[in-house]
């Protein structure tokens, strides 16, 4: 036998058996986002590499270590490591930012990062995310945080903590960078190689380093909140007031700086303790400089992204029920091959009317067809042979109750079948025969 080819490390298959979990989460995120006026946007899986270098940032882990890039016909492309850059590019390219503000869009997409695979950390993962462009007001920050909060609540997820912080604007950050540089300069010999190279260019990135030594050093680093300018400080205070107003509980965590360079002012994360070390199920914030950085007019904007695998993992670990998928309504069991054409026609008619109908396509004996209909949890079965074809009367069996009913296979069959399957009972139908 030929050797099996396995999927690449850090990728996952979602089989039909597991898809209900994804549908549950996708349904909720779409419903909640639409209540807040967000509509879906779809963007390419790959972009010009420069888009991520310019937006996510040259000194971030994502750009320095994690991107999947190819050179194809002399152009460098990268599989998207996140959704914000592509979405903002698309907003610009499609003129959306010339329309009435704010512009809002959400997405569900796959992201690619070359990371060390572990529970909750994959090389291909999926995000639900959204972006809102055109509002500088802290009420917009409160709006999207409450949206994320509502999704988590609607999914039934418990034990999550909302952590917020402000990382200021380029003005207040200049002072902060100086202080940080001074602090890390004195501990230079202990920093990892990547952080050493970041010391001059972007010392804040050191705060986000995953190396245990660097993160230990970073614990005593100066905090940005002490350096906020008046405008940033007021923005942050207003946001906190709005969250209080909505009854959303948060903690201010000055260590949150987020892994991407484009953030300004508000940053936030929803973290759970129920899925191990990779507990951030949602991360986001404000990025007032990004649109200009990508060639647009200065336009404030903000957004967040949730890791769908981490949401599902949390729900599984917390024992939350997922929506159950429907099962087959009718299994038609042809007694022999001669009955197949009529069974096929009957199935075809019912399917056109919206019923989930199956019949034997693998040539099973009648006995094993019955076992199979059990396995697929068919609600009704119908054995179909010469007698049924000639008399145009067949027996419908309710698999739950074992009840049987003779039913005429006339033009009216579909609507009678609808009555039966909706009630799940036979009462009142017999007289129609
Ligand atoms: P982390 O701190 O876990 O590395 P991040 O800051 O890199 O996360 P973002 O770029 O903000 O993550 O992405 C938003 C969300 O996407 C994260 O909060 C997380 O839920 C999810 N996510 C990020 N990277 C991965 C990954 N490699 N595998 C699975 N989910 C991920
Ligand atoms: Mg990361």
Q: What is the pLDDT of residue 208?
A: 83
Q: Specify the length of the chain in residues.
A: 433
Global pTM value:
0.91
Q: Please indicate whether residue 163, judged by its CB atom, sits closer than 6 Å to ligand 1.
A: no
Nearest CA, atom 28, ligand 1: 121
Mean of all residue pLDDT scores within the chain: 93
10 Å Cβ neighbour count for 18? 12
Q: Please indicate whether residue 307, judged by its CB atom, sits closer than 6 Å to ligand 1.
A: yes
pLDDT digits (tens, 9 = 90+) for 368-383: 999 999 999 999 999 9
Q: What is the pLDDT of residue 432?
A: 42
| CA dist., res. 218 & res. 382, Å (int) | 69
- For the residues 250-264, what does the mean pLDDT come to? 87
- For the residues 284-295, what does the mean pLDDT come to? 96
Q: What is the pLDDT of residue 211?
A: 86
For residue 261, the SS3 value is coil
Neighbours of ion ligand 2 (CB under 5 A): 259
Q: Please indicate whether residue 272, judged by its CB atom, sits closer than 6 Å to ligand 1.
A: no
Q: What percent of the chain has pLDDT over 90?
A: 81
Q: Please indicate whether residue 261, judged by its CB atom, sits closer than 6 Å to ligand 1.
A: no
- For the residues 105-128, what does the mean pLDDT come to? 97
Poorest-pLDDT segment among 171-180, 282-291, 337-346: 171-180
Contact present, 420 and 354 (Cβ < 8 Å): no
Q: Please indicate whether residue 97, judged by its CB atom, sits closer than 6 Å to ligand 1.
A: no
Q: Which atom of ligand 1 has the smallest separation from the CA of 281? A: 20
- For the residues 82-95, what does the mean pLDDT come to? 98
Contact present, 228 and 176 (Cβ < 8 Å): no
pLDDT digits (tens, 9 = 90+) for 348-360: 999 999 999 999 9
Q: What is the pLDDT of residue 420?
A: 82
Burial class of residue 403 (count of CB atoms within 10 Å of its CB; 0-12, 13-18, 19+): middle
Q: What is the pLDDT of residue 139?
A: 98
Task: Please report, to the nearest 10 degrees, the dihedral formed by the alpha carbons of residues 93, 99, 104, 107 taken in order.
Answer: -30
Q: Please indicate whether residue 129, judged by its CB atom, sits closer than 6 Å to ligand 1.
A: no
Q: Please indicate whether residue 283, judged by its CB atom, sits closer than 6 Å to ligand 1.
A: yes
| CA dist., res. 248 & res. 246, Å (int) | 5
From the CA of 116, the nearest ligand is 1
Flag whether pLDDT at 406 surpasses 70: yes
Q: Please indicate whether residue 291, judged by its CB atom, sits closer than 6 Å to ligand 1.
A: no
β-pair type (124-133, 301-307): antiparallel
Q: What are phi and psi of 395, to 5 degrees?
A: -100, 130
Between the CA of 279 and the centroid of ligand 2 the distance, in Å, is 11
For residue 308, the SS3 value is helix
From the CA of 85, the nearest ligand is 1
Between the CA of 127 and the centroid of ligand 2 the distance, in Å, is 13
From the CA of 287, the nearest ligand is 1
- For the residues 144-169, what does the mean pLDDT come to? 97
More confident residue, 261 or 139: 139
Flag whether pLDDT at 182 surpasses 90: yes
- For the residues 98-102, what does the mean pLDDT come to? 97
β-pair type (264-272, 75-79): unpaired
Q: How confident is the model at residue 340 (pLDDT cuts 50, 70, 90)?
A: very high
- For the residues 254-273, what does the mean pLDDT come to? 89
Between the CA of 190 and the centroid of ligand 1 the distance, in Å, is 27
From the CA of 267, the nearest ligand is 1
pLDDT digits (tens, 9 = 90+) for 192-223: 988 998 888 888 889 888 888 998 999 899 99
Contact present, 420 and 426 (Cβ < 8 Å): yes
pLDDT digits (tens, 9 = 90+) for 7-39: 999 999 999 999 999 999 999 999 999 999 999
CA angle 135, 138, 142 (to 5 degrees): 105
């Amino acid at each position: 036998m030929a050797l099996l080819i396995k999927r690449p490390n850090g990728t996952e298959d979602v089989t039909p058996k597991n898809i209900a979990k994804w549908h549950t989460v996708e349904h909720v995120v779409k419903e909640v986002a639409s209540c807040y006026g967000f509509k879906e946007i779809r963007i390419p899986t790959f972009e010009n590499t420069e888009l991520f270098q310019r937006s996510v940032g040259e000194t971030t882990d994502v750009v320095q270590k994690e991107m999947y890039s190819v050179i194809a016909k002399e152009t460098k492309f990268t599989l998207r490591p996140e959704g914000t850059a592509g979405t903002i590019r698309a907003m610009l390219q499609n003129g959306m930012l010339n329309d009435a503000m704010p512009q809002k869009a959400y997405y569900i997409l796959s992201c690619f990062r070359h990371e060390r695979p572990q529970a909750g950390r994959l090389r291909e993962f999926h995000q639900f995310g959204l972006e809102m462009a055109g509002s500088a007001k802290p009420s917009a920050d409160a709006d999207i945080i409450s949206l994320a909060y509502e999704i988590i609540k609607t999914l039934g997820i418990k034990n999550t903590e909302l952590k917020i912080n402000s990382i200021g604007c380029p003005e207040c950050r200049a002072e902060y960078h100086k202080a940080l540089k001074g602090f890390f300069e004195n501990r230079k010999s202990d920093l990892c190689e990547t952080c050493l190279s970041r010391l001059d260019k972007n010392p804040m990135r050191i705060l986000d380093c995953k190396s245990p030594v660097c993160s230990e050093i970073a614990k005593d680093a100066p905090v940005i909140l002490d350096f906020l300018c008046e405008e940033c400080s007021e923005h942050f205070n207003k946001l906190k007031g709005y969250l209080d107003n909505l009854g959303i509980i948060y903690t201010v965590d000055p260590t949150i700086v987020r892994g991407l360079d484009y953030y300004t002012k508000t940053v936030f994360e929803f973290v759970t303790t129920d899925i191990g070390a990779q507990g951030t199920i949602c991360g986001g914030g404000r990025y007032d400089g990004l649109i200009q950085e990508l060639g647009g007019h200065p336009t404030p904007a903000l957004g967040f992204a949730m890791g769908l695998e981490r949401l599902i993992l949390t729900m599984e670990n917390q024992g939350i029920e997922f929506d159950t998928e429907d099962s087959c309504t009718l299994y038609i069991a042809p007694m022999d091959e001669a009955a197949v054409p009529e069974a096929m026609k009957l199935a075809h008619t019912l399917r056109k009317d919206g019923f989930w109908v199956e019949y034997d396509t693998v040539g099973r004996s009648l006995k094993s067809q019955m076992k199979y209909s059990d396995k697929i949890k068919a609600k009704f079965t119908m054995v179909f042979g010469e007698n049924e074809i000639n008399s145009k009367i067949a027996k419908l069996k309710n698999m739950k109750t074992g009840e049987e009913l003779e039913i005429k296979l006339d033009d009216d069959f579909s609507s009678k079948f609808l009555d039966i399957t909706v009630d799940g009972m036979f009462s009142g139908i017999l007289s129609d025969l």
